[in-house]
Amino acid sequence: MEGKRGVIMGVTNESSIGWGIAKELKNHGAEIAFTFPNDAIKKRIDALSDSIQSDTIVAPCDVSKDGAIASTFQEIGAQWGTFDFVLHSIAFSDKNQLTGGYINTTRDNFLNTMLVSCFSFTEICREASKYMKNGGAILTLSYVGANRVIPHYNVMGVAKSALEASVRYLAADLGPSNIRVNAISAGAIRTAASSGIGDFHYIMNWNKNNSPLRRNVEQKEIGKSGLYMLSDLSSAVTGEVHYVDCGYNVVGMKAVDAPDIDVPR
């Protein structure tokens, strides 16, 4: 990644998946700009950014606000001219609706979840690609709840499904500009976002008991796959969803229940 620059959107703290990917990119020589959605998070991003590099861009971007994405990339483009990669590690839904049945999703939360967790990726690809004059790679984060019913994942699963479909359409749109578009479908790890999902502890235990590797994925492992996807190591890979989940995606064997929690079904 020596000589490469890119934008990372969606770091909250040291547990964030985006932070795991940022550290791997940085260790391999990349220069990184971070974005933050509000002032409460800005301080933390400043401190995290300072811990791995000095004098870099930290720019505001609440992706739910009209025009915010375009102006963030204008600001970064004005300073850098061009850049080579973007990570979209952003999702949001009302946590009161990430428990119980999908059927109770409200119109407002459906629309906001789709806006922040899915449409923002399309808008980011459009605005960022204007500054990716030498080609490059754009990556988002998905979860197996896009393809299967995972208890409580609900509207977020619907949004991830649309996000994965967006990856394929965007890869087709941006391929002629030599910009690759991919997703990592990550196994469950404990972060600020995942702590809002009902019975998350149970889901992690179930994954651990049932995935072929019999464990959960670690932040560093998603970081290493992020490095692969955002670097020339994956130069012919685009429009793909790359699973980094200890094989949970292939589970077809006898299920072992997580013993310590009763999940309401």
Which residues are known catalytic residues?
A: 143, 153
Residue 93 binds ligand NAD (CB under 6 A): no
Helix (H) or strand (E) holding 2: none
Q: CA dist 199 to 49, 97, 232, 265, Å?
A: 32, 13, 38, 11
Residue 69 binds ligand NAD (CB under 6 A): no
Residue 37 binds ligand NAD (CB under 6 A): yes
In the chain, how long is the greatest CA-to-CA distance? 55
User: By CB under 6 A, which span of 13-21, 99-107, 129-137, 170-178 interacts with ligand NAD?
Assistant: 13-21
Q: Give the 3-state secondary structure of residue 260.
A: coil
Residue type present at position 250: V
What is the pattern of x (binds ligand NAD, CB under 6 A) and - over residues 178-197?
A: --------x-xx-xxxx---
Nearer to ligand NAD, 30 or 186 (CB): 186
Which residue's entry shows tokens 């990917």? 21
Residue 89 binds ligand NAD (CB under 6 A): yes
User: By CB under 6 A, which span of 5-13, 79-87, 147-155, 253-261 interacts with ligand NAD?
Assistant: 5-13
Q: CA dist 78 to 53, 54, 82, 86, Å?
A: 20, 19, 9, 16
Structure token digits, residue 112: 């906001």
Rounded CA separation 180/235 (Å): 8
User: By CB under 6 A, which span of 86-94, 205-213, 234-242, 251-259 interacts with ligand NAD?
Assistant: 86-94
User: By CB under 6 A, which span of 57-65, 99-107, 172-180, 226-234 interacts with ligand NAD?
Assistant: 57-65
Rounded CA separation 115/138 (Å): 18
Residue 121: CB minimum distance to ligand NAD, A: 9
What is the pattern of x (binds ligand NAD, CB under 6 A) and - over residues 138-167?
A: ---x-x------------------------
Residue 16 binds ligand NAD (CB under 6 A): yes
Structure token digits, residue 14: 């040291």
Whether residue 25 contacts residue 1, with contact meaning beta carbons closer than 8 Å, is answered with yes
Number of H helices and number of E strands within the chain? 8, 7
Residue 187: CB minimum distance to ligand NAD, A: 7
Total of residues contacting ligand NAD (CB under 6 A): 26
Interface residues with ligand NAD (CB under 6 A)? Answer: 10-12, 16-18, 37, 41, 61-64, 89-92, 116, 141, 143, 186, 188-189, 191-194
